[in-house]
Amino acid sequence: MASNNSESKDVRHKIVLTRDLGPDVMGLLRDREENYLELVLWDKEEPCNRDWILKNAPGASALIVLITDKIDTEILDAAGPKLLVVSTMSVGYEHLPMKELAKRGIKVGYTPDVLTDAVADITIMLALMAGRNARETMNIVNEGKWPEYNWAPFLFCGRQLSTSASSRKRTAGFIGFGRIAQATLSRLIPFGFTDCIYTSSPSSKPTPTRDAQLAQTLGLRSVRRVNLGTLAEESDAVFVLAPGGEATLNLVDEQFLRKMKKTAVLVNTSRGTLVDSDALAKALREQWIWGAGLDVVKGEPGISADHPLVKEQRCAILPHIGSATYETRVEMGTLAVQNALAAIFEKPMPAAFDLTGYQ
Amino acid sequence: MASNNSESKDVRHKIVLTRDLGPDVMGLLRDREENYLELVLWDKEEPCNRDWILKNAPGASALIVLITDKIDTEILDAAGPKLLVVSTMSVGYEHLPMKELAKRGIKVGYTPDVLTDAVADITIMLALMAGRNARETMNIVNEGKWPEYNWAPFLFCGRQLSTSASSRKRTAGFIGFGRIAQATLSRLIPFGFTDCIYTSSPSSKPTPTRDAQLAQTLGLRSVRRVNLGTLAEESDAVFVLAPGGEATLNLVDEQFLRKMKKTAVLVNTSRGTLVDSDALAKALREQWIWGAGLDVVKGEPGISADHPLVKEQRCAILPHIGSATYETRVEMGTLAVQNALAAIFEKPMPAAFDLTGYQ
C-alpha cells in the first residue's frame, strides 16, 4: 500500500456503522481495521437505535448509515469536529441534513447508479404483471381454484406488452427520463416497442440531438419530450421514474389517469408520492386503464390489507424491493464503505454527493 | 371476389364451430355466410358438448375446434365424406386423431407462431418473478403485513436477472430451442446475458453455423448445444420450452435439479409433463435452486391448494396463460378460420399441419 500520512498507525480513524453489511462488505473494513480503523458497529437485526448513535458518534471520522437512520444536527454535534464524512447506503438522502453538512464542510457519500439494473429489471417485471393479470391469476392457483376454470378463447386474457401481427406499434412513456428510465427502455426494445415519449423537470433543457441519437441507436421511430397530457394519451405503458418531493407530488392524478388508454398499464418504481392512490384505485375499479404495477405506495410501509390499492386485483404491489438483490445491495454497501474510506484517507470519493446547491 | 367453382352460390359449405370466437374473428365468417357458408355455432360459455358435435357434424365441410374438444373417429364418421378440414385454434394437437385424419385425406389446420411473442413475454415475466421473490413479497403486501417489516440491507433480497458490476456473466439455458426459446433469448439480451446453451431432440442435427451466426447477431459470447447435465450446471436461468409427450416426460427431475446452481431459477412455459413436480417442490424446499416460475403444471387444471408446488412460496404459478392476450387469441382465432376457409375454397392454407409423418 502506498504510504500516506493519514494512514499511519498513529492515527486510527473511528468509523461508526449503523448496520452489519454482511461479510462481503464488512471484509473491506476488517482488512484495514487492525492498523488504521476503529470499527463501532450496531450488530442487531432491527434498525439502529438513535441513542446508540448519539452515544457512539463522539470522535468518529465517518458515519456509515442507512436510509432508516435520521441524521440531524444533534448527531453531528455529538460526533464533533473529527467528523469528515457521512456515507449513506442509499440513493435517497431525505434522512440527511444537507444544509448543515454543507455548512460544516462534512462530505456526503451516497450510492447512485449501482441500483439502476435491479430497478429496471423490476420495472419490466411489473409492466408484464400489470398487463397479464398476474396477481389475479396467481391467486386463482394459490387458492386452489384453477380446477373451477374451463379453457375458453378469452379466459384470463390480458394485454400484450409485445407488439403482434395485428398490433404493430407500442409507445413507452416515461415520467422522468434518467438512468433507470433509459435502462428500462433498452429492455423494452426486443418486445417490439416502436416509440418513446417522456417528460422532464420543467427547468431542464431540451435535448433533441441526444433524443435523435438515442432513437437511432435503439432502432425506435422516435424519442420525444412531451407534456404530461400527451404522455398519458399516447403511452401503452407509463413508467413513473422521477424523484419524489413536493415538485412531483400526485403528478399521476385523476386527470392524468382519465387520459390514459383503456389498454395501458401504469408502473411506479420510484416514489409513492408521485401517484394519487385514491385516483389510481378508482381508475382500476372503473377500468379507465388496464392494470398497475407498483413497487412503492404513498405512506409505505403503513399499507394495510384494506388499503384501496391492495383491494384492486388489477394492482400488483411489491414492498419496495426495486434494489433488493444480493448483487446490488452488496455493491451499494461496498460503495458506501469506499466513499467513507476515500473521504477519511483524502482520496477522491467514488460517489460524493454534490453539496454545492446547499451552501 | 375472383370467381371460383367452389364459391358458387349453389354450394354452401357447412362449418361447425365449437365456440364463439368473438366479434373480430366471427366477422370473417359472417361476411361470407349469406352466400357461401352455413355456420353452426356452439354459443355457450362452457366447453362444447360432445353430443352436440356428433349431432351437428353430419355434412360439415369444416370443423373449427379448440384444444378442449376431443376429436375422434366417431366424430369423423358422423361428419361424413364432405369433411375437408379440421382446424384447431391451438398450437397443440393432442386432441386430434392425426393418423385417422391422414388416412382419410382430411386436412388439418393449427396456429403455430402467432403465440410466440405472448409466451416469450410471460417467460421473461416468470424468470423475473422467480428471481425476485415476487409471490412471497406480493403476498406480504396483500395480507397487510408490510408494516411489520423494517428496512434492512438484505431484506427481501432476490437474485438479479441482469448482470451487475460484480456479476458480469449470465447464461441462459434452454431445454428445446425453437421459436419461443429464441424470442425469449432476444428479450434477455438487454439484461446483459452473455451466453446461451440449449438441448435439442437427440434426433435433430447439430447446427453450429446457425449457432455461431445467432451469437454474432445477438452479441453473445457463445450459443452452444450441450447435454442436459451441462445445461443444468451452467445456467443461471433454465427455460423449459420443448414439446410434451413421452419423449420429454420428467426431463427436469431430481438429478437435474441437484445439478443446478443454488442461485438459478427454473421457468416452465411449455408443458407440465416435462417437470417432475415432487422433485421441484423438494428442490425449492431444500433450496437446491433459488426459485421457479411455472405457467404449466403436470395434471393441470386439477391443482389444489395443497399441491406440493402451490405450497412453496418460491414457486410462482400461473394457470396456463402463456398465450392469453387479446391480441394473440384473436390472431389464433383468425388463423383457425383462415385455415378452414382456405381448405374449403381450395386455396393454400396459411398454417397447414404436415401429416406426412402420420401416413
pLDDT beyond 60 at A289: yes
pLDDT tens digits for chain B (359 residues)? 344 444 444 568 999 999 999 999 999 998 877 778 999 999 898 899 999 999 999 999 999 999 999 999 999 999 999 999 999 999 889 899 999 999 999 999 999 999 999 999 999 999 999 999 999 999 999 999 999 998 899 999 999 999 998 899 999 999 999 999 999 999 999 999 999 999 999 899 999 999 999 999 999 999 999 999 999 999 999 999 999 889 999 999 999 999 999 999 999 999 999 999 999 999 999 999 999 999 999 999 999 999 999 999 999 999 999 999 999 999 999 999 999 999 999 999 999 999 998 98
The pLDDT score that the predictor gives to residue B326 is 96
- Residues on chain A touching B45 (C-beta within 8 angstroms): 152
Segment A61-90 shows an average pLDDT of: 97
What are the residues whose beta carbons fall under 8 Å from the beta carbon of A348, sequence distance 6 or more?
A: A342
Q: Is B67 on the interface with A (CB under 8 A)?
A: yes
- Say whether A13 is catalytic: no
Q: Is B156 on the interface with A (CB under 8 A)?
A: yes
Contact A257, A233 (CB under 8 A): no
Give the residue from B291, B235, B168 showing the smallest Cα distance to A331: B168
- Residues on chain B touching A149 (C-beta within 8 angstroms): 301, 319
Using CB atoms, pick whichever of B117, B144, B156 lies closest to residue A321: B156
Interface of B with A in 126-145 (CB under 8 A): 128-129, 131-135, 137-138, 140-144
The pLDDT score that the predictor gives to residue B92 is 86
Residue B195 is placed in which grid cell?
451466453
- Residues on chain A touching B140 (C-beta within 8 angstroms): 319
Contact A107, B117 (CB under 8 A): no
CB distance B327–A167 less than 8 Å? Answer: yes
- Coil, strand or helix at B71: coil
Residue A10 binned pLDDT confidence (cut-offs 50, 70, 90): low
Question: Which of A13, A95, A307, A320 is labelled catalytic?
Answer: A320
Give the residue from B247, B302, B305, B309 showing the smallest Cα distance to B276: B309
Residue A163 is placed in which grid cell?
407488439
Give the residue from A5, A335, A323 showing the smallest Cα distance to A180: A323
- Coil, strand or helix at B225: strand
Among A18, A136, A218, A325, most B C-beta atoms within 10 A, so best to mutate, is A325
CB distance B189–A192 less than 8 Å? Answer: no
Highest mean pLDDT among A33-37, A353-357, B71-75: B71-75
CB distance B154–A22 less than 8 Å? Answer: yes
CA–CA distance, B357 with B359 (Å, rounded to integer): 6
Using CB atoms, pick whichever of B144, B165, B327 lies closest to residue A160: B327
CB distance A154–B22 less than 8 Å? Answer: yes
Using CB atoms, pick whichever of B46, B150, B157 lies closest to residue A326: B157
Residue B71 is placed in which grid cell?
376429436
**Is the full-model pTM beyond 0.90?**
yes
Name the percent of chain A lying above pLDDT 70: 97
Q: Is A67 on the interface with B (CB under 8 A)?
A: yes
State the count of interchain CB pairs (< 8 A) between A and B.
255
Using CB atoms, pick whichever of B142, B191, B319 lies closest to residue A187: B191
